[in-house]
Structure 1
Amino acid sequence: MSASDKIKNAAQDIKGKVEEAVGKVTGDDSKVAEGKADQTAASAKKAGENVKDIVKG
């Protein structure tokens, strides 16, 4: 996984955590869902990149 990919994934994860927290504070369920979706997407990308790294060996 390249450094830029790691940074992008971390930024998306952080954005998701912030969005989820804001949604919880404001009672906005759609923001909570968006935040969780961003976190899930970042995790999936990270897992995919890890598989690529293992295959490349």
Structure 2
Amino acid sequence: MALPFDQRAALVLHTFGGCTHAETGRILGISESAAKVRVHRARHALVEQLQEWR
């Protein structure tokens, strides 16, 4: 199952793009705290999906 676009965008910008949470939020037009939440939820969702493969 794919990540929702908002979570995927935040994760890619922060983790692979090297943006800070503040930069990620600014790019996506959301607050820094919302960016943190989206990155956290995306990571959690990926862990859940990977555990299903075991």
Q: Shorter-chain TM-score: what band?
A: 0.5 to 0.7
List gaps (5 residues or longer) in structure 2: none
TM-score by length of 1: 0.53
- 1 or 2, which has the higher helix percentage? 1
TM-score by length of 2: 0.55
Q: Name which one, 1 or 2, has greater alpha-carbon Rg.
A: 1
Cα RMSD of the aligned pairs, angstroms, is: 3.2
Q: What is the number of equivalent residue pairs in this alignment?
A: 44
List gaps (5 residues or longer) in structure 1: 24-29
Q: Percent identity?
A: 7
